[in-house]
């Protein structure tokens, strides 16, 4: 068993505009990417649970050329609102690091 952190060379979160939060998971090899693509460790259902969103509002893409999983969700708090603690959205990926990949 390996985690997404083990298989990826980069995991990040970022604003995609002020209202959308996006996650990029870049795998360190085609083998690691294909393994994740087969076992689908990251699903809309799981993202909805972690980030308190509705599944139908989530975009999830497996990108073969980029060897990457890309997911986007409505920003849980819009960028720059009084309760937003992460203006760039850059530290919101952490709950994804230890997700296990079969």
Partner 1 sequence: MEIRVLAATGVLGAGFKVESLNRGIALAPTFIACDGGSTDSGPAYLGSGKPKLSREACARDLRLLLKARDTLRVPLIIGSCATSGRDVGVDWMAQLARETAGEERLHFKAALIKSDQSTAYLKRRLAEGRVRPLFPAPPISEQVIESSHIVGMMGTEPIQAALAAGADVVLAGRASDSALYAAIPLTLGADPGLSWHAAKTLECGAACAVVPAADCMFARIRDDHFDIEPLDLNARCTPQTIAAHTLYENANPFLLTEPSGVIDTERAEYHALSDRLVRVTGSRFREAAQYTVKLEGAQLVGYQTIVIGGIRDPYIIRALETLLPKAQAFFDTRIAELFPGQLTKNDYDINYRIYGRDAVMGPLEPMRASAAGYEVGVLITITAPTQDLANKIATFVSHVSAHLPIPEYQGIISSIAYPFSPPELPRGAVYRFSVNHVVVPDDPYEMFRTEFVEI
Residues in contact with partner 1 by the rule CB under 8 A? 14-20, 22, 24, 26, 50-52, 57, 59, 61, 63, 65-68, 70, 72, 74-83, 85-88, 91-92, 94-95
CB of 9 to partner 1, least distance (A): 10
Give CA–CA dist 22/60, Å, rounded: 10
Task: Say if CB 62 and CB 37 are below 8 A apart.
Answer: yes
Q: How wide is the angle at C-alpha 16 spanned by C-alphas 13 and 22, nearest 5°?
A: 35
CB of 99 to partner 1, least distance (A): 12
DSSP secondary-structure letter at 57? G
Look up residue 3 and give its two tokens: 């985690």
Look up residue 62 and give its two tokens: 């497996």
Q: Which is nearer to partner 1, 39 or 49 (CB)?
A: 49
Q: Which is nearer to partner 1, 4 or 72 (CB)?
A: 72
CB of 15 to partner 1, least distance (A): 6
CB of 27 to partner 1, least distance (A): 10
Q: What is the enclosing helix (H) or strand (E) of 36?
A: helix 30-39
């Amino acid at each position: 068993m390996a985690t997404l952190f083990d298989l990826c060379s980069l995991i990040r979160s970022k604003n995609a505009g002020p209202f959308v939060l996006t996650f990029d998971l870049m795998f360190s090899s085609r083998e690691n990417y294909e393994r994740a693509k087969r076992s689908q460790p990251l699903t809309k259902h799981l993202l909805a649970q972690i980030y308190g969103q509705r599944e139908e509002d989530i975009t999830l893409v497996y990108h073969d050329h980029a060897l990457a999983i890309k997911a986007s969700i409505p920003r849980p708090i819009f960028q720059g609102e009084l309760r937003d603690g992460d203006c760039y959205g850059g530290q919101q990926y952490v709950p994804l690091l230890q997700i296990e990949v079969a």
